[in-house]
Amino acid sequence: MQGIAKKTCDVLSMITRFHGVVVDVPDLDSAVADYARLLGQDPGPVEADLAQQTRSVSFPVRNMLLEIREDSCADAKSAVGLAGIRLDCDEVEEIKSRLSETGSSLLPSESRKVDAAGEAEQRAWLSTFVDPDGSRSIPVELISEEVGERPTWADPSMPASEGRSLESGSVIDALDHVVIMSGDIEATRDFYRDGLGIRLALDRSFEKRGVRLIFFRIGGVTIEIGGRLEPAPAPGSADRFGGLAWQVGDMDAIHSRLSADRFDVSEIRDGHKPGTRVCTVRDPVHDVPTLLIEPVS
Protein backbone atom coordinates (compact mmCIF):
# COMPACT_ATOMS: atom_id res chain seq x y z
CA MET A 1 0.00 0.00 0.00
CA GLN A 2 2.83 2.37 0.89
CA GLY A 3 4.56 1.52 -2.40
CA ILE A 4 1.48 2.48 -4.42
CA ALA A 5 1.06 5.73 -2.51
CA LYS A 6 4.68 6.67 -3.07
CA LYS A 7 4.50 5.88 -6.77
CA THR A 8 1.35 7.95 -7.13
CA CYS A 9 3.06 10.87 -5.40
CA ASP A 10 6.03 10.53 -7.76
CA VAL A 11 3.76 10.60 -10.81
CA LEU A 12 1.92 13.63 -9.49
CA SER A 13 4.97 15.82 -10.14
CA MET A 14 5.07 14.61 -13.76
CA ILE A 15 1.57 15.86 -14.65
CA THR A 16 2.39 19.51 -14.07
CA ARG A 17 -0.68 21.41 -15.19
CA PHE A 18 -4.11 21.18 -16.74
CA HIS A 19 -3.19 22.42 -20.22
CA GLY A 20 -6.66 22.82 -21.74
CA VAL A 21 -9.79 21.43 -23.37
CA VAL A 22 -10.70 20.99 -27.03
CA VAL A 23 -14.12 21.68 -28.52
CA ASP A 24 -14.81 20.38 -32.02
CA VAL A 25 -17.16 22.38 -34.25
CA PRO A 26 -18.30 22.18 -37.88
CA ASP A 27 -18.15 25.97 -38.38
CA LEU A 28 -15.06 27.59 -36.86
CA ASP A 29 -15.98 31.22 -37.53
CA SER A 30 -19.41 30.94 -35.95
CA ALA A 31 -18.18 29.09 -32.86
CA VAL A 32 -15.26 31.46 -32.28
CA ALA A 33 -17.55 34.48 -32.50
CA ASP A 34 -19.95 32.95 -29.97
CA TYR A 35 -17.21 31.97 -27.50
CA ALA A 36 -15.65 35.41 -27.78
CA ARG A 37 -19.01 36.85 -26.70
CA LEU A 38 -19.45 34.24 -23.97
CA LEU A 39 -16.00 34.70 -22.45
CA GLY A 40 -15.86 38.44 -23.05
CA GLN A 41 -12.47 38.47 -24.78
CA ASP A 42 -10.88 38.39 -28.20
CA PRO A 43 -9.55 35.04 -29.47
CA GLY A 44 -6.02 34.16 -30.49
CA PRO A 45 -5.10 33.88 -34.18
CA VAL A 46 -6.42 31.18 -36.49
CA GLU A 47 -3.92 28.30 -36.50
CA ALA A 48 -3.57 25.50 -39.04
CA ASP A 49 -2.29 21.97 -38.41
CA LEU A 50 -1.61 20.68 -41.89
CA ALA A 51 -0.80 17.15 -40.75
CA GLN A 52 -4.12 16.81 -38.90
CA GLN A 53 -6.05 18.86 -41.49
CA THR A 54 -7.54 21.07 -38.81
CA ARG A 55 -7.96 24.77 -38.16
CA SER A 56 -8.29 26.05 -34.64
CA VAL A 57 -8.53 29.15 -32.49
CA SER A 58 -7.60 29.28 -28.80
CA PHE A 59 -8.80 31.42 -25.93
CA PRO A 60 -6.34 31.76 -23.02
CA VAL A 61 -8.07 31.94 -19.66
CA ARG A 62 -6.34 32.17 -16.30
CA ASN A 63 -5.76 28.46 -15.78
CA MET A 64 -5.86 26.82 -19.23
CA LEU A 65 -6.39 27.13 -22.99
CA LEU A 66 -9.81 26.59 -24.58
CA GLU A 67 -9.25 25.41 -28.16
CA ILE A 68 -12.06 25.61 -30.70
CA ARG A 69 -11.19 23.22 -33.55
CA GLU A 70 -12.62 22.60 -36.99
CA ASP A 71 -11.77 19.26 -38.60
CA SER A 72 -11.97 19.39 -42.38
CA CYS A 73 -12.20 15.58 -42.58
CA ALA A 74 -15.13 15.20 -40.19
CA ASP A 75 -18.77 15.45 -41.12
CA ALA A 76 -20.98 18.07 -39.49
CA LYS A 77 -22.75 15.54 -37.27
CA SER A 78 -19.62 14.03 -35.70
CA ALA A 79 -17.55 17.20 -35.25
CA VAL A 80 -19.40 18.73 -32.33
CA GLY A 81 -18.86 19.21 -28.62
CA LEU A 82 -16.12 18.49 -26.13
CA ALA A 83 -13.41 16.45 -27.81
CA GLY A 84 -10.60 16.04 -25.29
CA ILE A 85 -8.56 17.24 -22.35
CA ARG A 86 -4.86 18.10 -22.42
CA LEU A 87 -2.40 17.76 -19.56
CA ASP A 88 1.14 19.10 -19.39
CA CYS A 89 3.54 16.25 -18.64
CA ASP A 90 7.27 16.26 -17.80
CA GLU A 91 8.03 12.55 -18.03
CA VAL A 92 5.99 10.66 -20.60
CA GLU A 93 7.99 7.45 -20.19
CA GLU A 94 7.34 7.39 -16.46
CA ILE A 95 3.64 7.88 -17.08
CA LYS A 96 3.79 5.03 -19.59
CA SER A 97 5.34 2.77 -16.96
CA ARG A 98 2.75 3.69 -14.38
CA LEU A 99 -0.16 3.21 -16.76
CA SER A 100 1.10 -0.25 -17.70
CA GLU A 101 0.65 -1.29 -14.06
CA THR A 102 -3.03 -0.38 -14.27
CA GLY A 103 -3.61 -2.10 -17.61
CA SER A 104 -3.49 1.09 -19.67
CA SER A 105 -1.03 2.24 -22.31
CA LEU A 106 0.06 5.22 -24.36
CA LEU A 107 -0.19 5.54 -28.11
CA PRO A 108 3.01 6.46 -30.01
CA SER A 109 4.07 10.08 -29.51
CA GLU A 110 3.74 12.49 -32.42
CA SER A 111 5.39 15.82 -33.12
CA ARG A 112 2.76 18.48 -33.63
CA LYS A 113 3.01 22.02 -34.90
CA VAL A 114 0.56 24.73 -35.83
CA ASP A 115 1.13 27.83 -37.89
CA ALA A 116 -0.80 31.02 -37.19
CA ALA A 117 -2.08 32.68 -40.33
CA GLY A 118 -0.33 36.00 -40.82
CA GLU A 119 1.80 35.48 -37.71
CA ALA A 120 5.50 34.79 -37.42
CA GLU A 121 5.04 32.69 -34.29
CA GLN A 122 4.64 28.94 -34.50
CA ARG A 123 3.72 26.52 -31.73
CA ALA A 124 5.20 23.03 -31.63
CA TRP A 125 5.09 20.23 -29.08
CA LEU A 126 5.21 16.48 -28.54
CA SER A 127 1.75 14.94 -28.26
CA THR A 128 1.02 11.57 -26.64
CA PHE A 129 -2.50 10.19 -26.30
CA VAL A 130 -3.60 7.64 -23.73
CA ASP A 131 -5.05 4.57 -25.41
CA PRO A 132 -8.86 5.08 -25.43
CA ASP A 133 -9.38 1.71 -23.76
CA GLY A 134 -7.37 2.94 -20.79
CA SER A 135 -8.97 6.37 -20.60
CA ARG A 136 -12.43 4.85 -21.00
CA SER A 137 -12.98 6.58 -24.35
CA ILE A 138 -12.21 10.10 -23.08
CA PRO A 139 -9.44 11.58 -25.31
CA VAL A 140 -6.59 12.43 -22.91
CA GLU A 141 -3.55 14.06 -24.52
CA LEU A 142 -0.22 14.57 -22.76
CA ILE A 143 1.65 17.68 -23.89
CA SER A 144 5.44 17.70 -23.53
CA GLU A 145 8.59 19.16 -25.01
CA GLU A 146 7.13 22.42 -26.24
CA VAL A 147 9.53 23.92 -28.77
CA GLY A 148 10.56 27.55 -28.31
CA GLU A 149 8.76 30.15 -26.22
CA ARG A 150 5.00 30.00 -26.00
CA PRO A 151 3.42 33.08 -27.61
CA THR A 152 2.16 35.56 -25.03
CA TRP A 153 -1.41 35.25 -26.29
CA ALA A 154 -1.31 31.45 -25.70
CA ASP A 155 -0.05 31.60 -22.10
CA PRO A 156 -2.98 30.71 -19.79
CA SER A 157 -1.27 32.46 -16.89
CA MET A 158 -1.29 35.76 -18.80
CA PRO A 159 -4.69 36.39 -20.44
CA ALA A 160 -4.46 39.10 -23.07
CA SER A 161 -5.73 42.24 -21.35
CA GLU A 162 -6.07 44.03 -24.66
CA GLY A 163 -8.72 41.47 -25.61
CA ARG A 164 -10.94 42.47 -22.68
CA SER A 165 -12.98 45.61 -23.16
CA LEU A 166 -15.62 44.68 -20.57
CA GLU A 167 -15.69 45.17 -16.82
CA SER A 168 -13.76 42.37 -15.11
CA GLY A 169 -16.82 41.13 -13.23
CA SER A 170 -18.73 40.39 -16.44
CA VAL A 171 -16.06 38.28 -18.16
CA ILE A 172 -15.16 34.61 -17.72
CA ASP A 173 -11.50 34.21 -16.93
CA ALA A 174 -11.12 30.70 -15.48
CA LEU A 175 -12.40 27.15 -15.86
CA ASP A 176 -13.81 25.74 -12.64
CA HIS A 177 -14.24 22.13 -13.70
CA VAL A 178 -14.76 19.73 -16.56
CA VAL A 179 -17.41 17.05 -16.01
CA ILE A 180 -17.00 13.41 -17.03
CA MET A 181 -19.91 10.99 -16.65
CA SER A 182 -18.93 7.41 -15.90
CA GLY A 183 -20.78 4.10 -15.99
CA ASP A 184 -18.02 2.47 -13.91
CA ILE A 185 -16.82 5.15 -11.54
CA GLU A 186 -14.36 2.86 -9.74
CA ALA A 187 -12.51 2.12 -12.97
CA THR A 188 -12.51 5.80 -13.92
CA ARG A 189 -11.20 6.77 -10.48
CA ASP A 190 -8.38 4.23 -10.78
CA PHE A 191 -7.31 5.64 -14.15
CA TYR A 192 -6.99 9.26 -13.01
CA ARG A 193 -5.66 8.48 -9.53
CA ASP A 194 -3.43 5.45 -10.04
CA GLY A 195 -2.67 5.73 -13.75
CA LEU A 196 -2.08 9.47 -14.12
CA GLY A 197 -1.44 10.23 -10.45
CA ILE A 198 -3.67 13.29 -10.30
CA ARG A 199 -4.58 14.36 -6.77
CA LEU A 200 -7.92 13.02 -5.58
CA ALA A 201 -9.50 15.87 -3.61
CA LEU A 202 -12.95 14.45 -2.83
CA ASP A 203 -14.82 11.16 -3.18
CA ARG A 204 -18.36 11.40 -1.86
CA SER A 205 -21.75 9.78 -2.35
CA PHE A 206 -24.93 11.84 -2.23
CA GLU A 207 -27.70 9.42 -1.33
CA LYS A 208 -30.61 11.82 -1.88
CA ARG A 209 -29.39 12.72 -5.36
CA GLY A 210 -28.42 9.13 -6.14
CA VAL A 211 -24.96 10.12 -7.36
CA ARG A 212 -21.33 9.68 -6.46
CA LEU A 213 -18.89 12.49 -7.27
CA ILE A 214 -15.12 12.29 -7.40
CA PHE A 215 -13.04 15.45 -7.74
CA PHE A 216 -9.47 15.47 -9.04
CA ARG A 217 -7.53 18.73 -8.75
CA ILE A 218 -4.67 19.90 -10.94
CA GLY A 219 -3.43 23.40 -11.67
CA GLY A 220 -6.50 25.14 -10.33
CA VAL A 221 -8.88 23.00 -12.43
CA THR A 222 -11.12 20.19 -11.18
CA ILE A 223 -11.84 17.05 -13.17
CA GLU A 224 -15.23 16.01 -11.82
CA ILE A 225 -16.23 12.38 -12.28
CA GLY A 226 -19.92 11.64 -11.79
CA GLY A 227 -21.70 8.30 -11.59
CA ARG A 228 -25.03 6.88 -10.47
CA LEU A 229 -25.23 4.97 -7.19
CA GLU A 230 -27.70 2.61 -8.86
CA PRO A 231 -27.72 0.48 -10.94
CA ALA A 232 -24.47 -1.46 -10.54
CA PRO A 233 -21.43 -0.35 -12.60
CA ALA A 234 -21.36 -1.46 -16.21
CA PRO A 235 -17.89 -2.95 -16.89
CA GLY A 236 -16.49 -1.90 -20.24
CA SER A 237 -18.91 0.99 -20.66
CA ALA A 238 -17.51 4.18 -22.16
CA ASP A 239 -17.25 7.44 -20.25
CA ARG A 240 -18.54 10.65 -21.81
CA PHE A 241 -18.11 14.36 -21.28
CA GLY A 242 -20.77 16.07 -19.21
CA GLY A 243 -19.80 19.68 -19.85
CA LEU A 244 -17.77 22.66 -18.65
CA ALA A 245 -18.29 24.85 -15.59
CA TRP A 246 -16.76 28.35 -15.65
CA GLN A 247 -15.92 30.60 -12.70
CA VAL A 248 -17.38 34.10 -12.72
CA GLY A 249 -16.68 37.03 -10.43
CA ASP A 250 -20.07 38.75 -10.56
CA MET A 251 -22.98 36.51 -11.48
CA ASP A 252 -25.47 39.36 -11.75
CA ALA A 253 -23.21 41.30 -14.13
CA ILE A 254 -22.43 38.42 -16.45
CA HIS A 255 -26.02 37.15 -16.43
CA SER A 256 -27.22 40.60 -17.45
CA ARG A 257 -24.58 40.89 -20.18
CA LEU A 258 -25.29 37.48 -21.71
CA SER A 259 -29.05 37.97 -21.61
CA ALA A 260 -28.70 41.30 -23.37
CA ASP A 261 -26.43 39.65 -25.95
CA ARG A 262 -29.14 37.12 -26.92
CA PHE A 263 -27.74 34.10 -25.07
CA ASP A 264 -30.29 31.62 -23.76
CA VAL A 265 -29.47 31.75 -20.04
CA SER A 266 -31.36 30.18 -17.15
CA GLU A 267 -32.36 32.04 -14.03
CA ILE A 268 -29.70 32.38 -11.33
CA ARG A 269 -30.08 29.72 -8.64
CA ASP A 270 -28.25 28.42 -5.57
CA GLY A 271 -25.52 25.90 -6.32
CA HIS A 272 -25.12 22.50 -4.64
CA LYS A 273 -22.17 23.87 -2.69
CA PRO A 274 -23.48 26.19 0.04
CA GLY A 275 -22.83 29.84 -0.72
CA THR A 276 -22.40 29.43 -4.48
CA ARG A 277 -24.71 30.73 -7.20
CA VAL A 278 -25.00 29.20 -10.64
CA CYS A 279 -26.79 29.54 -13.95
CA THR A 280 -26.88 27.48 -17.14
CA VAL A 281 -26.00 28.84 -20.57
CA ARG A 282 -28.07 26.80 -23.01
CA ASP A 283 -27.31 28.44 -26.36
CA PRO A 284 -25.19 29.19 -28.33
CA VAL A 285 -22.55 26.94 -26.73
CA HIS A 286 -22.06 24.51 -29.65
CA ASP A 287 -23.12 21.29 -27.95
CA VAL A 288 -21.08 21.89 -24.80
CA PRO A 289 -23.27 21.82 -21.66
CA THR A 290 -22.21 25.02 -19.91
CA LEU A 291 -22.56 26.13 -16.30
CA LEU A 292 -21.46 29.42 -14.72
CA ILE A 293 -20.46 29.38 -11.05
CA GLU A 294 -20.01 32.29 -8.69
CA PRO A 295 -17.79 30.85 -5.92
CA VAL A 296 -18.30 31.46 -2.22
CA SER A 297 -17.24 35.05 -1.52
Task: Return averaged pLDDT per consecutive 10 residues of the chain, 297 residues in all.
Answer: 41 79 96 97 90 91 94 68 95 90 91 77 88 95 79 61 60 94 93 93 92 95 93 81 96 96 97 94 97 90
End-to-end CA distance of the chain, in Å?
39
Q: Of 143, 77, 136, whose CA–CA distance to 109 is shortest?
A: 143
Are 188 and 93 spatial neighbours (Cβ–Cβ below 8 Å)? no
For position 158, what pLDDT does the model report? 56
**d(Cα 259, Cα 53) in Å, to the nearest integer?**
36
Query: Does domain 169-294 fall into CATH 3.30.2020.30?
Result: no
**d(Cα 141, Cα 187) in Å, to the nearest integer?**
19
Burial of 235 (0-12, 13-18, 19+ CB in 10 A): exposed
Architecture of the domain made up of 2-156: Roll (3.10)
Question: For 19, phi and psi rounded to 5 degrees?
Answer: -75, -45
**d(Cα 189, Cα 205) in Å, to the nearest integer?**
14
For position 6, what pLDDT does the model report? 41
Domain ranges of the chain: 2-156, 169-294
Helix/strand/coil for 192: helix
For position 296, what pLDDT does the model report? 83
For position 202, what pLDDT does the model report? 95
For position 90, what pLDDT does the model report? 87
pTM over 0.85: yes
Are 40 and 171 spatial neighbours (Cβ–Cβ below 8 Å)? yes
Whether residue 235 has a cis bond before it, omega within 30° of 0: no
Do 2-156 and 169-294 have matching folds? yes
